[in-house]
Structures are given as structure tokens and as C-alpha cells.
Amino acid sequence: MAVTTLGNLEEITAWQKAKQLTLEMYTVSAQGAFANDAEMRDQFRTSCVAILTHIVEGFSRSETGEFAPSLAKANAVTGEVRNRLYTAVDKGYLGKMIFDRLYVLATETTRAIDELTAFLRKSTAKGGGPSA
Amino acid sequence: MALTLSSAAETQRLVAVRALSLLDTPPEERFDGITRLAARAFNVPWAAISIVDASRAWYKSRYGTGPSELPRTAAFDNQVIASNGPVTLADASRDPNVKDHPLVVGDPHLRFFAGHPVAAADGHKVGALTIADTKVRELTPAAVQTLRNLAEWVEREFNLLQVQTELKWAKETQRRGEEHFRLLIENAQEIVLVLEADGVMRYKSLSIERVLGYKIHDLLRKSLFEYVSAYDLPRVLTVFNEAIRQAGTTQAVEFRCRHRDGSWRTLQAWLKNLLQDRVVEGVIVNLRDVTQLKEAEEKAKKTADDLARSNQELEQFAYAASHDLQEPLRKIASYTQLLQQRYKGKFDAEADKFIGYIVDGAYRMQALIRDLLMYSRAGRGELTLEPTDMEAVLAQALSNLETAIQTNQATITHDPLPMIMASPSQLTQVLQNLVGNAIKYHGDVPPKVHVSVAQKSGFWQFATKDNGIGIDPQYINRVFIIFQRLHTKKEYPGTGIGLAICKKMVERHGGQIWLESEGEGQGTTFKFTIPVEPMTAAAPAPGS
């Protein structure tokens, strides 16, 4: 069985990007009109936490090579978050600058997750994990 | 006119005077303005606002020269406060009460006095507004009304002053209260945080430095979530969201938090959403460091797990080994026996002796394996408790021991024994082993054994007392250990398992076993207990 050694979760770029996106989303959704729309705020926050949850769950199963399905789920949720950003702009909750910032972060998160997925696929295809 | 009030009323009046907190305070414009106005309005050289204390009239404000206070008996004010309305005195030199007044006797030789009492908010007349002139005169009704109005003005000032004083006190009390709570929080073992709606720590108590190593200023505008372990972050965020959704509720969560030195601390957190609270406007978080507790818990659990596993393996080994050993041993025993019977005398005497040793050894090994099996069985399987007549149990045990009893001419006596909840087969074994031991380790006289019982609170206590060789107290704890023997097999035969079996069986019933001996040659008493209420934990021991 291919044992993929990934080291520390906190050192994985996908995790770092997702965490940054989440914390910034918390800051943005705690202010102004956004803070008063409890439902919208909750949706955003819950989605961000879901990205993190999927990555953590996948990571804890990475030794048995089951990281990829969790990463796919994480990516799906990140896509949702990116789409929701448009809704937030339409409602006037986000200014152009903050929208751009968050959109870039969400895109970077997606890319980092894709790269991690590709890395995992390559290492299992070779039949052996990369050495740590 | 009455110049003294009844003592009870006067005491209450003095309380009101003290509550004003005006005695011996510096002059104030708010009162000086009134006396100045009064002097001008009545065209008099002297006007004053007094507070009548227990033995003096003290002047808070004076227009015109004069002493700052007068003996109460000499002061006109004392007459005024005894009245409910205005008091006038046309010619003071003829009035016995004020003729000693220094301003009457001396300069400026006042003659005319007029005054109106001034009451505190609670109605007690605490002082007076008085005017005085050097010539004898009268006041018109309109002038009396003016005097009343001025006195009422003084009253309003008094009230205002009292309200201000109380307010000041309230503020001071509040300040002290806040200081009190600040000190409480800063000296608490727990960390207290106030989080903004996005997790930024607005307030953190000083204890954070002790627990997590960070200085308060390291954490300026930082989010708590930045310090939470990645593995716990989703859970912490979810709980935080829950707290935000439900104002006023308290949520609990445990997570690992990064110490400044890079290590991790396990923290227990309680979150309470007070974002709607106008004072706090945040989420209050209490954090307790449970790192050591957790570590100790895990260590204890690991030790217990290891122990259980090792015990289980040991018992399985003992069971399997003794079970599997029985078969080949039986073969050895039966064939050497056959050898002994058929070939006795066909070899030389030496060979007969050797064969005898083999047979003897095989027997002893069989006994050992039998006991070992019983010992490992004692801890296996379900323990079924049923109403058990201990009389019958003892009878069975004695019947099993019949040969030993007859051989040694032993006398066994017993108390009337009760019905208890137990496993009859196990208790038969226990009594059989204890009585058997009592018989085996007898001294020079025939053994006497007495089985007794006593009901204690919550359990039965059984005892077997003998007149045997006794036991050196230093070995008392060793006898229950498996294979521990105090004597050689030549002195007393045995496997060293019997008492270990007793201990295991008694303990499975939730009881205890121990022995008491006065020492060697003094006899031995074994005691064991069985709970009256069967334990719910009569579950199989590990390994079953």
C-alpha cells in the first residue's frame, strides 16, 4: 500500500490558503450590513468551515490513500463560496476591493487543492509515496 | 417655647444633620449667594445659614462678621428649628435665650432677629436661615414670605447637595467594584477573553501570558483562531458559529492551542455570546489549561490498557498451557504407573526408586496443572450469582475434605450460616481451600477449625479460625500470591495456588480476603467478605 507522507497539516499550502480565506471571511462577515444578515453570514461561515473540515478529514485518512475524495469535496465547497461572493456583492455587502481580495484567495485555494490532488495522484500512480 | 426636642426625635434629627455631610466644610458660593441676597433684601447687616449640631450652631454661610459657630444654647437658630414656621425676635436684649449671644452682647449689638427653619429631604429641621439687625424692627407679611422663599431655596440646595454626594458615592462604589472584578479576572487561573464577532481578541486577561506565553501586546488585533491547532480549527469555528447564532447560550469546546514556544496546550473553553449586551458587546470565552490533566488521563488509560492486555494474555496462556499440558502428562503418568506395576523387581532396586520418583513427580505436576486450570477458570466466564445456602456449601466442602479430616482427626465446628447471593461452586472451593489449609497446617495437636460469620454493614464477613502452626506476620501478604509457598513440599505438600484461587474468587464476588495471625504457633484466622447486595459488576474478568 502506498503510504503518502505529507508531514504537518499546517505546512500544506491548500490548508494555509483555506484557513486564510476562512479567517478573512469571518472578519468581513462581522462588519456592516453583512453582520446584520445572519442567514447570509452563517452560510458563508459554514461553507468556509466545511472546506477546512474536508481537508482535515482527508488528511487524517491520507495514510490509507483516501485523501483525494475529501479534496474533491473541499474543492466543490470552495467553488460554492466563490459563487456566493457575487451574491454578497449584489446585495451590497462587499465592496469591489474586498470582493477582489476574497475572490483571489478562493481561486488560490482551489488551485492549491488541485495541485495537492495532482501530487497525490502522481505519488500513488508510481506505486510508492514520495519520501518526506 | 420648647428649646429641646424629645431625645428620640433629636437623635433622628442629628442623623439627618450628619447625612448632609456639610458640617465644618468650607464656604460655598451657592449658599453665600443666598445670605448676600437676604441681607440686601431685608437691608440688614447680618444674615446666616446655620446647621444645628448636637451642641452648636455651625454657620455654613455668613453675611456680616461673627464667629463661625455658637454654643447651641446661645444661638437664635436653636429657637428657629424648634418651630415649624418663621420666628421673629423684635428685641434680643430682652430675650432670656439669646441675651448672651456674643453679637448681642458685643459688636455689632444686634437687636432684631428673624429666622426660618431649613429642613432636609426627609423633613428633619437641620438648620436655619436667619437675618439680624442692630435696631428693633418688625417684618411685614410680604417680608416673612420672602424669608420663607429664601429658606426653601436653601432646602433645595441641601437636597441637591445630598443627591450629588450620593451620586459620588455610587460612582466610587462602582469604581471599586470594577477594580475588584478586574483584579479577580487578572489573578484567576483561567484565561478570560472577549472576542469580536470575527474571533479577534478584544480583551485578554493577564493569565494568558502564564498559560500560553504570549504578552498582551503580541496579540493586538489577533484572531483566537490563528492559534488553534489545524485539527481542531473546524470544530472550534463551528462551535463559535453556534454561539453567534444563539445569543446568551454557553457552548463548550476543547482544543489544542499553540504556546508561544511552539508546543501545544490543551484548553477547555466555554463561549458565551454577549454581543447583544451593551456593556460587553462580544463573545466571552473562558479558557482552562487541561494539558496536564489530559496527559495524566492518557497515561493512566494506557497503563490500564497495557495491564488489562497483559493480564488477558497471561490468563490465556495459563489456560491453554495447562489445558494442553494435561494430555501428554496423563500419558506419562499412566505409562510410568504401568511400568511400576509390571516391571517392579525386574530391574534393580535403584531403578524401582527412580520410577517411583517419576510417578510422584507426574502426580504433583498433575495437581499443579489442575490447580492452575482452576485458577485461570476462576477469572473466566460469567459469574452467576444465585441464592446460596452457606450451610450446604460448607457441608459440600467438608465432604470433599473427608479423607483429610479423618486422617488428621480434625474437629470442624461452625456458626449457623446464612443464605447469600453467590456462586455456590466458587464458595465451596473457597471454604474447601481454607478449611483444607487449616487442617493441613496443624501443629502437634489434632486440628480444630471453626467457621464463623458476622453481618457487617453491606457485607457478610466469614472467618475460619484454626489452632494450627500460625504464620509469621511478615509473610501475611505473600500467602495470596500464586506459587508463593512458605514451606518446602517435604514439610507440607501443595502447589501454592490454593489461596490465590480463593483471593480471585472472593474478589470476583466483590469481596476481600485477608488473614490474621498472632504469629507462629498461635493459630491462623482467614477472613473474607461477600457483599450482601450483589455487585452489578459481576461481569467476566478480562480474558474471558
Interface contact B197, partner A, CB < 8 A? yes
Q: What's the CATH class of domain B7-166?
A: alpha beta
CB atoms within 10 A of CB B111: 18
The Cα of A129 is separated from the nearest Cα of chain B by a number of Å equal to 23
Taking CA–CA distances from A40, the nearest residue in chain B reads: B245
CATH code of the domain made up of B191-289 = 3.30.450.20
Interface contact B237, partner A, CB < 8 A? yes
Omega before B141 cis (within 30°)? no
Interface contact B247, partner A, CB < 8 A? no
CB atoms A26 and B225 under 8 Å: yes
Omega before B416 cis (within 30°)? no
A19, A29, A35: residue with CB nearest B233: A19
- The secondary structure element, H or E, covering residue B77 is helix B77-81
Angle at A73 between CA A70 and CA A75, to 5 degrees: 110
Interface contact B245, partner A, CB < 8 A? yes
In sequence order, the 6+-apart residues with CB closer than 8 A to the CB of A30 are A41, B196, B197, B198
Segments of chain B with pLDDT less than 50: 1-3, 537-544
Q: What's the CATH class of domain B295-377?
A: mainly alpha
Residue B62 pairs in a beta bridge with B48
Q: What gap in Å lies between CA B172 and CA B164, rounded to an integer?
A: 12
- Model pTM above 0.80: no
Interface contact B234, partner A, CB < 8 A? yes
Contact yes or no for A104/A17 (Cβ under 8 A): no
Residue B257 pairs in a beta bridge with B228, B265
Collapsing DSSP states into helix, strand and coil, what is residue A34? helix
Give chain A positions within 8 Å (CB) of B238. Answer: 46, 49
ipTM of the complex: 0.87
Residue A90 in this model has a pLDDT that exceeds 80: yes
Interface contact B447, partner A, CB < 8 A? no
B196, B231, B241: residue with CB nearest A46: B241
CA dihedral B289, B294, B296, B302 (to 10 degrees): -170
Please tell me the predicted confidence (pLDDT) of residue A2: 40
Taking CA–CA distances from A39, the nearest residue in chain B reads: B245
Interface contact B233, partner A, CB < 8 A? yes
Q: What gap in Å lies between CA B417 and CA B435, rounded to an integer?
A: 15
Give chain A positions within 8 Å (CB) of B234. Answer: 49, 52-53, 56
The Cα of B304 is separated from the nearest Cα of chain A by a number of Å equal to 26
Collapsing DSSP states into helix, strand and coil, what is residue B484? coil
DSSP B98: T
Give chain B positions within 8 Å (CB) of A39. Answer: none
Please tell me the predicted confidence (pLDDT) of residue B268: 94
Q: CA separation (Å) from A36 to A42, A91, B244, B388? A: 11, 12, 12, 73
CB atoms B223 and A48 under 8 Å: no
In sequence order, the 6+-apart residues with CB closer than 8 A to the CB of B31 are B49, B60, B61, B154, B157
CB atoms B233 and A42 under 8 Å: no
Strands, E assignment, A11-108: none
- For residue B136, give the nearest of B183, B185, B94, B100 by alpha carbon: B94
Q: What's the CATH class of domain A11-120?
A: mainly alpha
Please tell me the predicted confidence (pLDDT) of residue B475: 79
Question: End-to-end alpha-carbon separation of chain A, Å?
Answer: 16
- Reported as a single tens digit per residue, the pLDDT across A38-82 is 899 999 999 999 999 999 998 888 777 788 889 999 999 999 999
Q: Which of B237, B240, B246, B263 to mutate to test the interface with A (most CBs of A within 10 A)?
A: B237
Strands B125-133 and B112-119, by their bridges, are antiparallel
Please tell me the predicted confidence (pLDDT) of residue B239: 93
Q: Which of B194, B196, B198 to mutate to test the interface with A (most CBs of A within 10 A)?
A: B198
- The secondary structure element, H or E, covering residue B519 is none
The Cα of A12 is separated from the nearest Cα of chain B by a number of Å equal to 11
Taking CA–CA distances from B224, the nearest residue in chain A reads: A23
- Location of each CATH 1.10.287 domain in chain B: 295-377
CB atoms A29 and B198 under 8 Å: yes
CA dihedral B400, B406, B410, B411 (to 10 degrees): 80
- Location of each CATH 3.30.565.10 domain in chain B: 382-531
For chain B, the 3-state helix, strand and coil shares in percent, each to the nearest 5, are 45, 20, 30
B352-361 burial by CB neighbour count: b if 16+ within 10 A, else e?
eeebeebbee
What's the alpha-carbon Rg for chain B, to the nearest Å?
Answer: 50
Name the residue with cell 472546506: A51
Taking CA–CA distances from A44, the nearest residue in chain B reads: B241
In sequence order, the 6+-apart residues with CB closer than 8 A to the CB of B184 are none
CATH code of the domain made up of B382-531 = 3.30.565.10
B197, B223, B231: residue with CB nearest A9: B231
Collapsing DSSP states into helix, strand and coil, what is residue B412? strand
Please tell me the predicted confidence (pLDDT) of residue B6: 63
Indicate the angle between helix axes B233-245 and A13-29, nearest 10 degrees: 10
A26, A45, A56: residue with CB nearest B230: A56
DSSP string, B169-218: HHHHHHHHHHHHHHHHHHTSSSEEEEE-TTSBEEEE-THHHHHH---GGG
Contact yes or no for B235/A56 (Cβ under 8 A): no
